[in-house]
Amino acid sequence: MGVGKTLRILVILPMYGGSLPVGRFCASALKELGHVAEVFEAPGFYGAFEALKTLRVTSDRLEYLENSFLQVVSQAISAKVETFGPDLVLALAQAPLSRQTLKRLRRDGVKTAMWFVEDFQLFTYWETFAPYYDVFAVIQKEPFAHKLAAIGQPNVVYLPMAADPAVHRPLEISPVERRTYGAEVSFMGAGYPNRRLAFARLLDFGLGIFGSDWDGDAALSGRLRLGGRRIDTEEAVKIFNAATVNLNLHSSVLAKELVPAGDFVNPRTFELAMCGAFQLVSERTLLPELFADDELVRFGSMEELREKLAHFLAHPEERQAYAQRARARALAEHTYGQRMEQLLGFVARCFPDWPAGRQEAEAALAGLPEPLRQETAALLRDLSLPADVTFPDLIAAVRARQGRLTPLETSLLFLDEWQRQYAGS
């Protein structure tokens, strides 16, 4: 499925929200696959937008300023593309790519892909920007693909959510951590209206709720843990591992359906499975093709949830068997690495000449003398780059390293600059 060569990929993170960690997982997976991935850190610009909100100007002027500054951020992405020269720009939902910038990238022959990890019926803005991407990856099936085609986006690929095995993994939980993060019946996530009402019906179980947006709910306040603050990924993994039963109730902004009907499968499903943590997950139409009946336990109503909670709390060996099978399936089929391979393969199928326009360069190691060659080979392994990576790609990866560079990295950069200065002389 892969494209068989090292690619340069610029991952555009959103400034905030649920797709932000997904973008980081993508970048990490792309590097693991041996590609040179750079990340556009849009969250760094978010503070400027918050500052605009403190100006105390008219609402019309505020809207104008927000739009103007967003154009600047988008231009920053253009500049990054010019410098980095990516084969693909991968944007996550809410990425700060304006239509103007997307048009310019298309004109310049830079391929762009959006992984729209949102519900298309709730976040309807795809109608505005979808045709400007070369490839549109989605977490839902029909009728979304049909609708995208109708507005001029034919290159649609179904790409369900995933998990990162390096992050979402089984953990040994210490007694202290268990007191902090453990619960008999645990939920980690935001307090959407349906969850508030549903969990109020589970107070006779040992319920613990982690996450934000649960304010003002008197019925659940006694079950809210860690002060209802935001939970980062590392803590979330501890919470998953420390629970006897993890609840995974898909969200809905509507309170009338406690267990909402829906199609796409949320990231928590994959993350819990990858952790080897037992979960009870609400029914989704796309779930059976991702996990079999003997891998995940599903519920379609509150009655069914209560019944299964009671059963599985009393049967630890069954819980363990389910969790093990779910983890095996997640490792085999649902990693971000696999998703990125699928996405790159799809781009390659849509555009047979892709990646194009890059000069064939000599392998980085070929021109280096020993023992520098051996030392650089170790660096390639550290950077997850293939042994035949080109010198320009190696330099791009070195430039993306954080903090102080090592003498080897510095000497490679020096060599690159020396070659540029004296090229052709």
Partner 1 sequence: MARFLVLQLARLGDLVQTRRLLAGLAAKAAAGGGEVHLAVDRSLAGLAGRLYPFARIHSLPAHAGPGRSAAETAGLARKACGELAAIAFDRVFCLNFSPLGMAVSAMFPPEVQRGYRQYAGQTDKDGLLRLVFRLARDRRGSGLNLADIWAHLDDEALPAAQVNPVAVPRGGGLGVALAGRTARRSLSPDILAPLVRTLFRAGGASRVTLLGTAAQAGEARALLRKLDPAVAAACTDLTGQTDLAGLCDTISGLDRLITPDTGAMHLAAFFGVPVTAFFLSSAWCHETGPYGLGHEVWQATLPCAPCLEAAPCDQGHVCRLPFADPGFLRALAGSAKAVLPPGLALFATDCDALGAVCRLLRGEDASATARQTLRDFLARHLLGAVAEATDPAPGRELAERLVMETDWILPPPGRTASREW
CB of 95 to partner 1, least distance (A): 7
Q: Which is nearer to partner 1, 11 or 344 (CB)?
A: 11
Q: Which is nearer to partner 1, 290 or 396 (CB)?
A: 290
What count of other Cβ atoms lies within 10 Å of the Cβ of residue 420?
8
Which residue type is seen at 40?
Answer: F
What tokens were used for 18? 């649920």
Q: Which is nearer to partner 1, 191 or 355 (CB)?
A: 191
CB of 266 to partner 1, least distance (A): 5
Residues of this chain that interact with partner 1 (CB under 8 A) are 14-18, 46, 49, 53-59, 62-63, 66-67, 70-71, 74, 94-96, 98-99, 119, 121-125, 127-129, 131, 143, 147, 150-152, 189-190, 193, 211-213, 215-216, 218, 230, 251, 253-256, 266-268
Task: Output phi, psi for 304, to 5 deg.
Answer: -65, -40
Q: Which is nearer to partner 1, 143 or 357 (CB)?
A: 143
CB of 268 to partner 1, least distance (A): 6
CB of 123 to partner 1, least distance (A): 7
CB of 254 to partner 1, least distance (A): 6
Q: Is 248 helix (H, G, I), strand (E, B) or coil?
A: strand
Our CA angle for 361, 28, 181, nearest 5°, is 170
Q: How far apart are CA 304 and CA 26, in angstroms?
A: 35
Residue identified by tokens 């084969």 is 87
Q: Which is nearer to partner 1, 66 or 382 (CB)?
A: 66
Task: State the DSSP code for 402.
Answer: -
CB of 64 to partner 1, least distance (A): 10
Type and span of the H or E element at 81: helix 59-84
Q: Which is nearer to partner 1, 193 or 386 (CB)?
A: 193
Query: In 137-227, which residue ranges form alpha helices assigned H by DSSP?
Result: 144-150, 175-181, 193-199, 218-221
Task: Output phi, psi for 160, to 5 deg.
Answer: -65, 165
